[in-house]
Amino acid sequence: MSVKDLSDKEKNSIIEAIKNDENLSKKHIYKLFKDEEDVFLFWNGRDEERSNIVLPFHTIEHIDEPRKEKVEGSGQLFDTRGRQQKGWTNKLIWGDNKLILSSLVNGPMRNEIDAQGGLKLVYIDPPFAVGADFTHEIELNGEKFIKRQNVLEEIAYRDTWGKGLSSYLRMIYERLKLIHELLAYDGSIFVHLDWRVNSIVKIILDEIFGSKSFRNEIVWCYTGPGSPHMKQFNRKHDTLLWYSKSDNWIFNSDDVRVPHDEKTSQNFKSGNVGSGFVADTYDLDEGGKVPEDWWEFAIAQRYPVDGIKRTGYATEKPLPLLDRIVKTASNEGDIVADFFCGSSPFATAAEMNNRKWICSDLGRFAIHLSRKRMINVQRLHKSEGKDYRAFEILNLGKYERQHFMGVPSDVSYEEQQQILEKKQEKYLNLILEGYSANRIEGYKYLHGKRATRFVHVGPLNIPVTRDLVESVYQECKDDLITQVDILGFEFEMGLAPFIEEQMKDKGVDIRLKHIPREVFDPRAVKKGQVKFFDVAYLDVNKKINGNEVQLELSNFVTNYTQDDLEEVEDNLRKRSSKVVIENGEIWNIKKTKDGIFEREQLTSSWTDWIDYWAVDFDYESNREIISVEEDGELKEKWTGNYIFENEWQSFRTKQDGDLELLSAPHTYDEPGRYKIMVKVVDILGIDTSQVFEVVVNE
């Protein structure tokens, strides 16, 4: 229907509504926008356009192979079982999956995906409207506490469910459209849902993929407790909606068969197969039961928390469930993907079945859990003599920040700088507002003031350097200013220990603070939810013997604060307790029945903060090259950074809380001067890196 098909009365009614700034009726909206459809699903905020943003991906870590292990009793110095497969590198991407999907669909990585045969399978497990849950339980010295979701994760949930169903549909609709475009011609999508949104998301999938591309509504059945006083049946199933992109899809039915029930086998042997079957003409398939659209798997909690089958992540699904999906709709060597990956059980199933994978998540801690999990899978393959594939951790880096500030990525660096200069005042005001600081004038390097401390806002797209810190220090010294906070998205390697060791007693108290990504969300800023935290730093002892180097992690300093002790004590009920994090220390606060507070410090050593550390013994050996489009032309550019090659690592698991503080020795082939990068991830999932220099001789 078009405007000409409306009656005069309907036209006048629409015109009057627009003049009076009134909402159009749903009937008129349908008539204006429908296109020969009998059913048109409309919701507040529906937008037919999909994102075409292209942002370059930054490689922040490359995990090429597991650490080298000595083989006991083999006579070999190192374990050589299982080697890395060359070619495609699996991808674990941290960030907003809308920007990630848009950049995959429209950017140069699309060519890399298509060269591998295209994306054959996507599994997604989007949020179910059950409450924002990016929290994670952490155990320290026998006490458990919750690592709360960051504001960015809260905002993501608010964007998804803040206006109820309409905001959820707006979120899922655009992402499904992008996934549809990214899928190969013979690709499929499995969407994991429950009773809250199952019916309406199916209508959206019918619209995007076409109702003829609907393959199955799969019911995943499980068991669990229920109340004896319920006034309805106990809900014990989720739904998987399977759609193919075309009428040519992959279905490996023989790979997902299950054994016949013993009673069925006995009946066929005896000829007692029931009405409708003739035992003489119908043979029981020895390969197993023909797959059906209801699946019964134990719930995730029944699998051990071992870092492979299960990590303990809140919304984690059973590995056998995802294993079956991978086997059903993809083949060995295919690329599969999950854009709400959590702790990456889907990537685990993909890796275990020799599939290539792309996974992404918004949560920093989810990415960290995924990294540990996938290293464990690599180690398992190596121990079994199986080959494994490298994976890399990516993000959208400074280009995502520039996008938030309205700076396009497809123009030259010089043009980007010109745009940034024009937006400098807006940028400064945005960061200062997020930091609850007031703008000040009359200084070259000091931009604001919060209480008694002055504030410098670092650049949007380059790290805060030592030269910049020294310039800020000199201006403070000249004007008799004794306290300054320097805010930055990134910091030059070694800057934190430089300030601690060389500038601490020079009369100016300098503190480095990370600017969080959520500062770009005005809602978080308005509510005072944006948390800036101090830059941590680490130190190592270097043991050099000729051309062999070994590192010992010797210190880690953090001033991270999640809670306010006084506020917690004010709100704590009698006979209750709470674990809090303040200024780099973790405390268990108890309130007795008499109202007396007892504080127990859980962190007894800096090592309590370390969850993971890794080493790149030749950091400057691999430049980070990215593909960017400038003025319509694709160019390869060095970012000025290097890729962290994860050559050795040690980390804690729930089964093994021990952490090795001494790395394996590394032997250099040539004498010379080398840069070594050490990366620490603390128990909250926050990365801290430091570069050290060594000189080795033969």
Q: Domain spans of the chain?
A: 3-33, 58-71+78-250+293-395, 419-534, 540-635+646-696
Phi, psi (degrees; rounded to nearest 5) at 24? -75, 150
- Whole-Å CA distances, 66 to 72, 101, 281, 381: 17, 29, 54, 10
Q: Which CATH class is domain 419-534?
A: alpha beta
Percent of the chain residues topping a pLDDT of 90:
47
- Which two tokens mark 485? 């906070």
* pLDDT band of 176, cuts 50, 70, 90: very high
Residue with tokens 């032997």: 667
- Whole-Å CA distances, 205 to 64, 167, 188: 38, 17, 12
Phi, psi (degrees; rounded to nearest 5) at 584? 80, 10
Residue 553 near residue 538 (C-beta atoms within 8 A): yes
d(CA 122, CA 173): 15
- Which two tokens mark 614? 């890794």
d(CA 307, CA 291): 30
pLDDT digits (tens, 9 = 90+) for 595-626: 888 888 888 889 989 999 999 999 999 999 88
Quick one: fold of 58-71+78-250+293-395? Rossmann fold (3.40.50)
Q: What pLDDT is recorded for position 164?
A: 64
pTM for this structure?
Answer: 0.86
Where residue 133 falls (left for φ over 0; alpha for ψ -120 to 50; beta otherwise) is beta
* pLDDT band of 355, cuts 50, 70, 90: very high
Given a cut of 50, whether residue 74 has pLDDT beyond it is no
* pLDDT band of 75, cuts 50, 70, 90: very low
Residue 18 identity (one-letter amino acid): I
DSSP letters spanning 82-97: S-EEEEEEEEEEES-H
DSSP state, residue 546: T
Torsion angle (degrees, nearest 10) of CA 491, 495, 499, 500: 110
Class of residue 293 by CB neighbours under 10 A (exposed 0-12, middle 13-18, buried 19+): exposed
DSSP state, residue 300: G
Residue 256 near residue 327 (C-beta atoms within 8 A): yes
What are the start-end ranges of the H helices in 384-459? Answer: 397-404, 413-422, 424-434
- Whole-Å CA distances, 231 to 56, 226, 228, 248: 53, 11, 9, 45
Average pLDDT, integer, range 137-164: 49
Residue 465 near residue 661 (C-beta atoms within 8 A): no
Task: Note whether 58-71+78-250+293-395 and 419-534 share their fold.
Answer: no
pLDDT digits (tens, 9 = 90+) for 20-72: 888 777 667 766 666 655 667 777 777 778 888 899 999 999 997 666 554 45
DSSP letters spanning 622-656: SEEEEEEEETTEEEEEEEEEE--B--EEEE--SS-
Percent of the chain residues topping a pLDDT of 70:
85
